[in-house]
Structures are given as structure tokens and as C-alpha cells.
Amino acid sequence: MTESPVAYESAGETGYISVDNPPVNSLSAAVRKGLVEAIDAFAADTTAKVAVLYCKGRTFIAGADISEFGKPMVEPYLPDVISRIENCAKPVIAVLHGTVLGGGLEVALGAHGRLAMPGTRVGLPEVTLGLMPGAGGSVRLPRLAGFAAAVDLITSGRQAGADEAVALGIIDGIPDAADPRAAGEAEARRWIAERRSPRQISGLPAPRPEEDEIKAARARVERSARGQIAPVRAFETLVAALGMPFTEAMAFERSAFLDLMQTPQRAALIHAFFAERKAVQQEGLKGIQPRAIAKVGIIGGGTMGQGIAAAVLNAGLDVTLIEQDEEAAARAAAGLAKMQQGAVKRGKLSPEACDQMLRDKFRTAVDYAALAEADLVIEAVFENMDVKQEVFRKLDAVCRPGAVLATNTSYLDVNAIAAVTSRPADVIGLHFFSPANIMRLLEIVVADKTAPEVTATAFALAKALGKTGVRSGVCDGFIGNRMMNTYRTAADHMVLDGASPYDIDRALVRFGFAMGPYQVGDLAGLDIGYAARQRKAASRDPRERVPVFADRLVEAGRLGRKTGRGYYIYDDETPQGRPDPELEALLTEVRAGQPGNAATFSDEEIVARYMAAMVNEGAKILEEGIAARPLDIDVVLLHGYGFPRWRGGPMHWADAEGLGAIAQNIARFAETDDFFWKVSPLLARLAAEGRTFETLNTGEGAS
């Protein structure tokens, strides 16, 4: 028989219930069963007057065991476990530490008193998994903390720090004790001396918010839900349950929770949760020690170089930034300081820490010799092969043996960059996304000769910077930009064939993207794509369709937001952009003489083409081994390209949509354009075999 992860220990007048289920003490079936048995043991313990419930390891219970979701539920169910705790005739005090989330907080709300160690964070993050609290969280929290706080925490899923949790009445205090057990011991002694009896949250009256307050809160929740059903369902359930007796309210919450459990959004969000964690787990790197990184050099102090410098400094590392001359170096330093001030304003950085890091950990230089001691150098200069190769030649000359040499190129061949050095094994691509101090994605581009130790170092760096590293092989644009180029092209073809860019943006925002492709283009600057098209013009296949309209805009000086006009017009009245009435005339002119230029595209057709292009390119990327697993692609699109998280990423979306349907769509599109639309053999094979991309994530049937 395996030992229970929950223990009951009788120690005189205090009983201790401890949970030990690493890594995060999630509420597996064994923990739920163990909790019931421990409560029974406490109830039967005639000497113990108060029980202390605490957890071993890094955190109090961090929630239900997410890996059990989607599988048949096993008794005892969590609401029943919590009700056993709450209905215990003797008081139970929960002592919290770490991240007390979801079912973990619900367990704590079943206890009769709650303390939280300094640094504890509490929250009900179920909506971030497409769920809502399912074990009394939305029924007990309003009774304890009031309507507004409960709605805020439950519909946003955000975590509150210990101080805020005290202010909201969620916990009773923050003890000054060595550990949760010691804190519980002292509190139990106090309760025994004061002869306290259990205080049940279920016995408190539910708040009665005014209609206006409910209406305003509903509007806020609906506005921020952006396509997600869980926050809205959680809100409506919470509100309706306020008018019900406690037991009825609990059953009502449970039924909404079980409904949400069946939704594709829940499956997608949980896929995203595990994909993020699996992306950084690299089987091939097990046991390989990363190199120590303390001193980082950055070449190039433009927006990207500044963002990388900020991210590296925020991780506590030392930065030397190289610019061409003193003036450019001063500009870069000023830009960085402004960026860090922004972090101070957002409360992400204390003013003292900001001053200290800029003073002690950051310097600029114009001479590469300043990089002699660097452990890692990240090049972020102009995107041009000759320029980058020149930088790497210089780095090769000055850097110490063992230094990792990284390029932040977003398209160029990392093998060709490595080849100009005498140490290609030390060269790797680190593709940051702008703004680099904020965006979570880091594409780790492993070149042919990159040493595994260098790749391991890149993953360790990503973790230290608080980013999610995703491994990519070398190809034009790596995983993300290569896919973006393809789905952007599918959008451009629709425009050439008669669709309005505004309709395309609208359809894709409705699908859940943060922005449509033409809004993104305006934000990034239309000159970027223009320059790339000019570069490739000479080698272009004559069958390739060129988005002439995009060239025309640039040639007319309409570069996007930075010039106040691109696809949209940006002015004081409409800083977010409004459609330009002159664009249609330009499009009509460009389309004249093109085949199929009178086509109309429904929102559904727009999404079908855009997504088919994305998924098909993803399949090609897998076939070529550029991405190792479909989940890596999902993480790239989720964290770097505004893909709606509640759809799980393009490859997960494709599985849910059905690979057969997507392959058929591609065949239909190819009837009029078989140059662009070529179904990936991998996609065709999976579709024919009735398989999903997910089977490649698990290794099942992979080839």
C-alpha cells in the first residue's frame, strides 16, 4: 500500500494535518482521501482541541490536480472534502505559504481560521484554465470578502499578496514565525486559551449588491472576457448563487464548473498550461550542465538592444552595451533608463533597485575589448548578413574561450553567422520579441554545430529572464516569423482577390487574435515588409503573387502608425486607427486585371484560409524538424504572436477543428492557386490516418 500524502499527528491539545504531495501539493485523489481521513482522525482524537492544517515543501495546496481534468472524476470529491473540514466540530486553522490557488484556497476557506506566511499569494485562477471555482470558491469568497473583491479575483484569476488578502478579510493575519507549523502551533495555543469554536463561512450571510453595481460589474467582465466563456459564466453563477441558500448555491456552482469542464476552451487552456512547461523540458539536454552566466555583453543599443538589456538587468545580471560611438551609446543608455522608469511606474521595479542596477550593473562602451570578460554576448544590430558576420568576426577575436555568442536575428541563417567564427559550437540564436523586457517568448535557435551545453545555457538564461524558451532549428524566419510570413501571405491573397483588409482584421479579432494582420503591419511599420520584398524581388518565383497594394502604401509615404497613416488613419481623434476611405480606390486599381478579384469572403472563409495557412506551415516546420513538437509551435504563437490562449495555439486548434477538414480546405484553395496552397505531407498523412498533432506531442506514433 502506498503511503498517504496526508498525515495526522496528535501532539497534546493540538493536532497537525500535513500535506506532502510534491511539487505543488495539488489535490490529487490521494490527497483528497487523505484529508478526509485526517479530519476523521482529528475528530476522533479526544485530546486534540484544535487542528493545524499546513503543507510541506514549497507551497500550500496550489489547486486541484490539473492532470486529472478531462478524466473520470474519482471520489471523494473536493466540495465534500471541504465540507468535512468546515463541519468539523472542533476548529481547524489553515496556515498558508507559497501560492495558494484554486482548490487550495477553497480548502483554506473551509477552515475556521487562516494565517498566511509573509510572501504568500492567494487566488482563484480557474478562469485562466477555462473553468470557475468548483469547490465553493465562488460561494464562500463573496461571503468573506464581499461582492466586489470576489468578482474581481474570480473573474480575473489574478493573485493577491498576503497584505491585500488581509485587507480583504480573506486571511486573518501574517504571523511572525519560522515556518507554517510553528505559526500554527502558536495560533492553536491562542485559540485553545480563548476557547474559540469553529466559525463557518457557510454560516455568514451572502452580500446583497445593488442592481447598478451588478450591472456595472457585468459590463466590465464581458468587456475583458474577449471571447472567453469562463469569466462570464463564473460571474453569472456567482451572482445567481447570492440569492440561494448555501447548499443550493454550492450545487449550482458545481454544475456550472462541470459544464465548463466539458468545453473546448477548457481543453485548450489546459493544453497551453502544460505546453508552456513542456516546451522548456528538453529530453536531449538532460544531465547537461549549463555554463554560468553573470556578465552579458549586448551589441547594438536600438529598441531591441535596450529591451534585451532591461530584461537581462532585471534578472540581476551585469550588462555591457556596445554602440558605434559615444553619442549612440548615450542615446541607448537614456532609452534604457526611460524603459526602466516605465517598469518603476508600473510597479514592477522599485526606484532604488532601478537606480542601483543602472549605476552598478550597466555600462556602455564603444570598443569590443570591453567584452573580454563576458560570459555571453547577444548581438542585436541591423538585420543584414554582412553586418552580423562582421560583428561575429570581432567577437571571435576578443571574447574569452567558453563565452556564448548569440545572435538576435529574426530571419537570417545562424549557421552562416557561426561559420565566420573559429568556434561555431559556441554560437546560437536567441530571438527576442519586442518589447524584449516584456514579451515572454524566446526562440532558441540551435544551429548545426551548436554545442548541447550552449543550448542548455540558453534555456537556463530564458528561465532566469522569466521567459519561456522554445527550441527552433535554422530556417528563414525560424518557427514564428516563418509561420507569420505564410499566414500574412494568405491574408494578402484575399485582399488581392477582393477582401477588405478591415474585414480581415475584424474577422481575426473576432476569432480572438489581439490584432488583425493589417493592424499589426501598421504597428510594426510597413517599410519592414517592403524592404524584405525588395530584397527578394530578384529571386522571386514568377508565380508568386505580390501584395502590390502594400508597396503602393509605402511608396506614398504611408508607413503605418509612425506616419499617422498606413492601412488605417491614426490621429488625435482615433489613436487606435480608423479605416481610410481612400484605401478602397487603391485596392480597386491594384486588383484590376487580377484573376478572381471580385471574390467575397465571409468571416468564416477568412478564418479558414488564414488558419489553414498557419497550420499547414506549422506541419511543414515539424516535417523538417525545425520544431520538435507541435506544442513548441503552439507556445511560439501564444507568446509571440497574440494567438488567443483559449484556443490553445494553432496546432491544438487544428486538432479540435479536425485535420481532415483542414486538408480538404487546402485542396479546395489549391484549385485556384496550387502554387501557394500545397498541403504538407505530414498534415495529409495525419488526416488520412485520423490522427491528431497531439499524438506527436506524446511521441505516440511519431516518425
Side-chain half-sphere exposure of 228, counting CA atoms within 13 A: 29
Cβ distance to ligand 3H9 smaller for residue 152 or 603: 152
Question: Of 48, 52, 78, 662, which lies in the binding site for ligand 3H9, with binding defined by CB under 6 A?
Answer: 78
110 lies in the site for ligand 3H9, by CB under 6 A: no
* Site membership for ligand 3H9, residue 187 (CB under 6 A): no
Task: Using DSSP, state whether 323 is helix, strand or coil.
Answer: coil
Residue ranges in 371-410 that form contacts with ligand 3H9 under rule CB under 6 A: none
Residue 55 to residue 210: CA distance in whole angstroms: 39
Whole-number CA gyration radius for the chain: 28
Stretch that binds ligand 3H9, among 98-106, 336-344, 578-586, 657-665 (CB under 6 A): 98-106
Q: Which residue from 106, 580, 632, 634 is in contact with ligand 3H9, where contact means CB under 6 A? A: 106
Q: How far is the CB of 274 from ligand 3H9 (least distance, A)?
A: 6
For position 101 contacting ligand 3H9 by CB under 6 A, the verdict is yes
Q: Which is nearer to ligand 3H9, 158 or 533 (CB)?
A: 158
Span from 64-72, 198-206, 228-236, 552-560 in contact with ligand 3H9 (CB under 6 A): 64-72
Minimum distance of ligand 3H9 from residue 133's CB (angstroms):
4
For residues 77 and 530, which CB has a smaller minimum distance to ligand 3H9 in the complex?
Answer: 77
- Residue 126, C-alpha cell as written in the block: 480557474
Which is nearest to 68 in space by CA: 210, 256, 266? 266
Q: Among 66, 166, 370, 385, which residue sits at the site for ligand 3H9 (rule: CB under 6 A)?
A: 66
* Residue in this structure with the C-alpha cell 504568500, named with its chain if needed: 120
Contact call for residue 189 and ligand 3H9 (CB under 6 A): no
Among 15, 130, 137, 469, binds ligand 3H9 (CB under 6 A): 137
Q: Are 228 and 214 in contact (CB under 8 A)?
A: no
- Which span sits near ligand 3H9 by CB under 6 A: 19-27, 87-95, 160-168, 432-440? 19-27
Please report, to the nearest 10 degrees, the dihedral formed by the alpha carbons of residues 278, 282, 287, 291 taken in order: -110
Q: Determine phi and psi for 54, rounding to 5 degrees.
A: -145, 170
Residue 29 or 344 with smaller CB distance to ligand 3H9: 29
**Residue from 47, 67, 247, 255 binding ligand 3H9 (CB under 6 A):** 67
Min dist. Cβ of residue 311 to ligand 3H9 (A): 18
102 binds ligand 3H9 (CB under 6 A): yes
- Single out the segment in contact with ligand 3H9 by CB under 6 A; choices: 22-30, 189-197, 392-400, 532-540: 22-30
Q: Regarding beta strands 318-322 and 362-365, do their DSSP bridges make them parallel or antiparallel, or are they unpaired? A: parallel
CA 124 – CA 153 distance, rounded (Å): 6
Q: Name residues contacting ligand 3H9, limited to 610-649 (CB under 6 A).
A: none
Closest to 440 (Cα-Cα) out of 250, 636, 261: 636
Residue with cell 506616419: 563
Comparing CB distances to ligand 3H9, the nearer of 5 and 133 is 133
Binder of ligand 3H9 out of 64, 357, 381, 406 (CB under 6 A): 64
* CB-nearer residue toward ligand 3H9: 78 or 321: 78
Q: Which is nearer to ligand 3H9, 40 or 80 (CB)?
A: 80
Q: Counting contacts by CB under 6 A, is residue 133 touching ligand 3H9?
A: yes
DSSP string, 128-197: GGT----SSHHHHHHHHH-HHHHHHHHHH--EEEHHHHHHTTSSSB---SSSHHHHHHHHHHHHHHTT--
Size of the site for ligand 3H9 (CB under 6 A): 24
CB atoms within 10 A of CB 123: 24
Q: Which is nearer to ligand 3H9, 140 or 431 (CB)?
A: 140
Q: Applying CB under 6 A, which part among 133-141, 470-478, 588-596, 646-654 lies near ligand 3H9? A: 133-141
- Quick check: bond before 681 cis, omega within 30? no
Report the residue number, 63 or 480, with the smaller CB distance to ligand 3H9.
63
Q: Which is nearer to ligand 3H9, 64 or 460 (CB)?
A: 64
Pairwise CA distance, residues 625 & 613, whole Å:
18
**C-alpha to C-alpha distance for 405 and 423, rounded to whole angstroms:** 9
Please select the residue that binds ligand 3H9; options are 134, 305, 501, 577, rule is CB under 6 A. Answer: 134
From residue 223 to residue 262, what is the string marking binding to ligand 3H9 with x (rule CB under 6 A)? ----------------------------------------
Among 277, 338, 668, 678, binds ligand 3H9 (CB under 6 A): 277
Please give the single-letter amino acid code of residue 75. Answer: E
Cell numbers at 436, concatenated: 524584449
| 129 part of the interface to ligand 3H9, by CB under 6 A | yes
Long-range contacts of 681-686 (CB under 8 A, 24+ apart): 681/623, 682/619, 682/620, 682/622, 682/623, 683/615, 683/616, 683/619, 683/659, 686/619, 686/659
DSSP per residue over 31-82, as a string? HHHHHHHHHHHHHH-SS--EEEEEE-TT-S--SB-GGGTTS---SSPHHHHH
Query: To the nearest whole angstrom, how small is the minimum distance from the Cβ of residue 258 to ligand 3H9?
Result: 9
Interface segment toward ligand 3H9; rule CB under 6 A; list 125-133, 450-458, 633-641, 691-699: 125-133
> Nearest Cα to 485, choosing from 521, 439, 434, 534?
521
Closest CA to 17 of 118, 140, 108, 133: 108
List, as one string, the DSSP characters of 184-203: HHHHHHHHHHTT-----GGG
Please pick, from the candidates 126, 318, 396, 443, the single residue that binds ligand 3H9 as defined by CB under 6 A. Answer: 126
Q: Which is nearer to ligand 3H9, 409 or 468 (CB)?
A: 468
Question: What are the two backbone dihedrals, phi and then psi, of residue 136, each rounded to the nearest 5 degrees?
Answer: 100, -5
Exactly one of 5, 15, 34, 63 binds ligand 3H9 (CB under 6 A); which one? Answer: 63
Under the binding rule (CB under 6 A), the answer on residue 23 touching ligand 3H9 is yes
Residues 99, 62: contact at Cβ < 8 Å? yes
Q: How large is the greatest C-alpha to C-alpha distance in the chain, in angstroms?
A: 92
Residue 62 Cβ vs ligand 3H9, minimum distance, rounded to whole Å: 4
Give yes or no for a contact between 444 and 459, defined as CB atoms under 8 angstroms apart: yes
If binding is defined by CB under 6 A, does position 99 make contact with ligand 3H9?
A: yes
Identified binder of ligand 3H9 from the candidate list 62, 95, 628, 662, rule CB under 6 A: 62
Q: How far is the CB of 99 from ligand 3H9 (least distance, A)?
A: 4
Q: What's the min distance (Å) between Cβ of 86 and ligand 3H9?
A: 15
Q: What is the nearest approach in angstroms of ligand 3H9 to the Cβ of residue 254?
A: 8
Q: What H or E segment, with its residue span, contains residue 607?
A: helix 603-623
| In 390-472, beta strands by DSSP E | 404-407, 427-432, 441-445, 468-472
Chosen residue from 135, 462, 569, 611 binding ligand 3H9 by CB under 6 A: 135
Query: Which one of 21, 55, 65, 230 is in contact with ligand 3H9 (CB under 6 A)?
Result: 65
Smallest gap from residue 135 Cβ to ligand 3H9 (A): 4
Across-strand partners of 469?
A: 442
Work out how close the CB of 273 gets to ligand 3H9 at its nearest, in angstroms, rounded to a whole number: 7
Which parts of 347-366 interact with ligand 3H9 (CB under 6 A)? none
279 three-class SS: helix
Please state the φ and ψ torsions of residue 103, each to the nearest 5 degrees: -55, -25
Residues that bind ligand 3H9 (CB under 6 A): 23-24, 26, 62-67, 78, 99, 101-103, 106, 125-126, 129, 131, 133-135, 137, 277
